[in-house]
Amino acid sequence: LYCPKNIINGYNRPYILPNLWISDRITPEEAQHIDLIFSEEKAVSEIVLFFNPNLNIERNNLRPGFWREEDSQMPKELVKEYKIYALDDDGQPGQLLIHEKNNKSRYVRHYIGCCKEKAEKINVKGIRIEVIDTWGNPYAEIFEVRVY
């Protein structure tokens, strides 16, 4: 139900099914990762990630006085720290492309290099997304990954 193929099924939120990949438990000794391996080498300049920010939470946005303490904190399910690697010819992580240490967004767009205007294209056989930490959940949760 929460299998790796969910991150490429075209849904970036629950619709009929969860449409979500959930990793094994993240520990200080072992981060969790998911690999996207392409059938042929691709020129990549942009990577888009959709993380789980617990869209099911109910908040009364008109009356903040009724919020619980956890309503004003980062969602525990949201990925906080992660790395993205380019995979080499034998499927092993090679070049580190991105290292985000303090993510606070559900939707994240990364350009290879500095920015959209100066994005570099790199040729890769795949990418690895390695989740190091979340805001409190012991599992990594990703809805969708897009690679351009």
Q: What is the pLDDT of residue 52?
A: 94
Q: Is 40 buried (19+), middle (13-18) or exposed (0-12) by CB count in 10 A?
A: exposed
Q: What is the pLDDT of residue 15?
A: 86
Q: Is 46 buried (19+), middle (13-18) or exposed (0-12) by CB count in 10 A?
A: middle
The rounded distance, in Å, linking the Cα atoms of 29 and 26 is 8
Give the chain's length. 148
Q: What is the pLDDT of residue 46?
A: 95
Q: What is the pLDDT of residue 73?
A: 77
Instruction: For the chain of 148 residues, list the mean pLDDT of each consecutive stretch of 10.
Output: 89 88 94 94 95 77 65 86 94 93 96 82 95 96 96
The rounded distance, in Å, linking the Cα atoms of 122 and 119 is 10
Q: What is the pLDDT of residue 59?
A: 62
Q: What is the pLDDT of residue 25?
A: 95
The one-letter amino acid at 141: E
Would residue 80 be called left, alpha or beta, if left means φ above 0 and alpha means ψ between -120 and 50 degrees?
Answer: alpha
The 10s digit of each residue's pLDDT in 135-145 is 999 999 999 99
Q: What is the pLDDT of residue 24?
A: 95
Strand bridging mode 139-147 / 93-100 = unpaired
Element (H, E) at 24: strand 21-25
State pTM to two decimals: 0.88
Q: What is the pLDDT of residue 39?
A: 92
DSSP 87-136: E-TTS-EEEEEEEESS---SEEEEESSS-STTPPPEEEEEEEEEEEEESS
